[in-house]
Structure 1
């Protein structure tokens, strides 16, 4: 008998991709896809079960199908099909609690993989240059998806202590980008003009959705050693990009605005429902965030195929050309960089180096 894998969040684009991919693994005999709404995409030969993980019925699903591997992808920063922020938080936190309770009562469960986010580190002016998995944030996130992710990880660690026989893997993903990605950050990059915080040019990291699917598949496998693939791992493409470099690649001009004005504008956009420009995203686009992925390479044996620049270039190509040629955007950014700031100095914006051309790859679901 092969593995029986249950995947939550199957109605989301990433969940659907992973469901289609994992069922082709020769070690997998059956895939059970779970979500509270029917998916709008194909799931291959997987069995779809319409169930809300916030409800105790998820325990019956685990027992009925004899699930031994759970891949929890229904942890997200945005609502699906017009849902509210309250629903998102309930699914993230209460849904995770119910799922973990069901796993604890199901002896057959032997492996748990949980999708988390580097948002747990927050974004603050005094943060370290690079976060490792063992570094605690200067201040815990006060709200939004970042706080949800912190709570989810806390519950997962508690579960790991109660069920030491279960291999538990937490994957902290950097901002996920790809041709089919749709997140608050991709909405921001889709604006005709990118509002930025005056005087700041944050460092950003991305991970390609193909690499996300690949590392999830590896984490869901039964490892040769009991400790392999267990623990918490940062997942991000090598390298970084400055926000100004992202603007140049997109062919979109930036509009530097003082921080109080950006905070007010983001709050107004969120209130009007035009864009989910949350406080945590504003902090990211002010202070940035970079993580180290050595533990992922050394313990799991996985290195992302796409670097951060290559990931962003793939995202740009999928979105089509911007409003302005990159050369004109670069000239505008350099002109803004030469403007004096309030302290009498100048805004230092490093020159963008051309990102390496992404190698030709075939992406298969």
Structure 2
């Protein structure tokens, strides 16, 4: 008998893409896609169930279908997509707690896969060159998605102790890029004028959306357990990425970066959270030995190739037209004016 898999967050881009990919796997008999709103995209042969994982009713969905594998994809990275920071934290943390409570009561459950993030490692000048799964953060994330993910992983570890009969795997995925996905980072590199932190050019490591989804599929149908870093080979620096995207860099003095970030968020230019600013200052590298040895996964795209595919998909290459440069400069001047006003005030 094949697997019965429940997938959370199928109405979001990655959740829908994962459901479509999993639909092609002959080892999976049934896929149940769960979210609070109907998906706007194709989810393959998944059966959609409208349910909120923050509600205990999710236990009835798992029990009635005899679910043996749960894939938790519904951890949100940006507050704008969740309706604000408070709503984002409720979905990420409270939603995970309710989902794990439902999983704990499900006798049919045999496997739990959680999409986590490399943001749990934080970003600081004291970081190692490469984080292994056993390396703790030198400075824990204090806000946003990274902080939520640290809490989520803590609850998952608690669940694993209470249900030792369930195989648990958490994938700490690097920042996603690709032709279809939209994140705070892809929005950042799509800006005509890209603000960078003056005096810093950190290394960043990325994962292509197709590679990330394939890693999740292997985690679902394979035998890997524990925590696994997932990223493309190699790194690129922020300034290299800006040049690859054909953008115009705008170095910002470090004392003004936080104010610029606030102004950019208010003006709708990009979602510059404190967490992202630290990442763009210090970067992050991942050791992917366990990805190959335990998960048995070899990414198709290196970090550079993944970013290049994002650039092609967004059609960012080539010189910017004069009107776009003029509009970008006007917006940048508006941000600078806001910063100057805030500093003087």
Q: Which TM-score applies when normalising by structure 2?
A: 0.90
CA positional deviation for 1:274: 4.4
Which one of the candidate residues 282, 289, 292 is aligned to 1:294? Answer: 289
Aligned to 1:132: 132
Q: Which TM-score applies when normalising by structure 1?
A: 0.85
1:326-341 equivalent positions in 2, closer than 5 A: none
Distance 1:82 1:102, change over 3 A: closer
Aligned to 2:329: none
Aligned to 1:196: 196
Aligned to 2:259: 264
CA positional deviation for 1:102: 0.3
Contact 2:178 2:306 (C-alpha < 8 Å) held by counterparts: yes
Whether 1:185 and 2:185 are equivalent positions in the alignment is: yes
1:1-365 equivalent positions in 2, closer than 5 A: 1-79=1-79, 83-223=83-223, 229-322=224-317, 324=319
Structure 2: distance between partners of 1:186 and 1:222? 31
Contact 1:192 1:323 (C-alpha < 8 Å) held by counterparts: no
Structure 2: stretches of 5+ with no match in the other structure = 321-345
Contact 1:130 1:291 (C-alpha < 8 Å) held by counterparts: yes
Contact 2:111 2:167 (C-alpha < 8 Å) held by counterparts: yes
Distance 1:141 1:270, change over 3 A: same
Q: How many residues in Structure 1 have an aligned counterpart in Structure 2?
A: 320
CA positional deviation for 1:86: 1.3
Structure 1: distance between partners of 2:316 and 2:100? 45
CA positional deviation for 1:222: 4.5
Structure 2: distance between partners of 1:25 and 1:273? 40
Contact 1:252 1:323 (C-alpha < 8 Å) held by counterparts: no
Report the 3-state secondary structure (helix = DSSP H, G, I; strand = E; otherwise coil) of the residue aligned with 1:106. coil
Give the CA RMSD over aligned residues: 1.3
CA positional deviation for 1:218: 0.7
CA positional deviation for 1:324: 3.0
Instruction: Compare the two structures and name the one with the higher helix fraction.
Output: 2
The one-character-per-residue Cα deviations of 1:155-181 (angstroms, maximum 9, x if unpaired) are 000100100000000000000011111
Structure 2: distance between partners of 1:276 and 1:52? 26
CA positional deviation for 1:16: 0.5
The one-character-per-residue Cα deviations of 1:67-113 (angstroms, maximum 9, x if unpaired) are 00000000121257562221111111000000000000001000000
Structure 2: distance between partners of 1:162 and 1:271? 44
The one-character-per-residue Cα deviations of 1:286-312 (angstroms, maximum 9, x if unpaired) are 011001000110111111111000000
CA positional deviation for 1:212: 1.0
Structure 1: stretches of 5+ with no match in the other structure = 224-228, 326-365
CA positional deviation for 1:44: 2.2
